[in-house]
Amino acid sequence: MGYDQLKLDNQLCFPVYAASRLITREYQPLLDNLEITYPQYLVLLVLWESDRLSVNDIAKKLILNTNTITPLLKRMEQQGLILRKRSETDERKVMVHLSSKGLNLKEKASEIPQELAKRLSESNIEMNDLIQLKESLDSIISFLSK
C-alpha cells in the first residue's frame, strides 16, 4: 500500500495554510503604518461594519473561541482602539464598540484592500481567479463551520 495521500504536495490544508501566512505577511507592512496586528485588523473590520457587538458575536464572525479573542480585545482596549463594557440588559455579555481612535483608523485602512490587490496584480493571477478562489474558500468555510 502506498502513502501518496500523506505527501505534503497532495494536501489541501498546506496550500491554504501557506497562502494564509503569506497573505498575512503582505498585509503586515500596511498594518504597521496603523500600529495594529492582523488579528486586530480583523476585529476592526467587524466593528467598522457593525459597531457595538458582544464578544461572542465578534468571536463567531471571526470563527474564534472567546478565550482566544478576549486577550486580543484587552490589548486593543489598552491601545485605545475599542471600549468594552457590560451589557445593560444582560450582565453576562460584554459589549465592544469602537473608540474615536478606532473609528478614525477606518479612513487610513480603507486603502489596504486596494494596496493588497495591487500587489497581487503583479503576479500572473487574474482578478477573476482571485474572486473565484474567495468564493470557493467561503463555501468550504461555510460547510466546515456547521
| Cα dist from 138 to 7, 12, 66, 142, whole Å | 26, 15, 22, 6
Average pLDDT over residues 104-116: 94
Confidence of residue 108 (pLDDT cuts 50, 70, 90): very high
Answer yes or no: is pLDDT of 38 > 90: yes
- Which structural domain, as residue segments, surrounds residue 48? 4-144
pLDDT given for residue 118 in this prediction: 86
Q: How many helices (H) and strands (E) does the chain have?
A: 7, 3
Q: Are 129 and 137 in contact (CB under 8 A)?
A: no
Report the CATH number at residue 58. 1.10.10.10
The total number of structural domains that make up the chain: 1
Strand partners, 98: 82
pLDDT given for residue 96 in this prediction: 97
Average pLDDT over residues 89-116: 94
Computed from CA positions of residues 84, 68, 21, 37, in that sequence, does the dihedral angle turn out positive or negative? positive
| Cα dist from 36 to 40, 73, 76, 88, 121, whole Å | 6, 12, 9, 30, 25
pLDDT given for residue 1 in this prediction: 66
Average pLDDT over residues 77-105: 94
pLDDT tens for 124-146 read 888 899 899 999 999 999 999 98
* Rounded-to-integer distance, Cα 111 and Cα 102, Å: 16
End-to-end CA distance of the chain: 34
pLDDT given for residue 125 in this prediction: 86
pLDDT tens for 21-30 read 999 999 999 9
Average pLDDT over residues 84-99: 92
pLDDT given for residue 94 in this prediction: 94
Helix axes 66-78, 38-49, angle to 10 degrees: 90
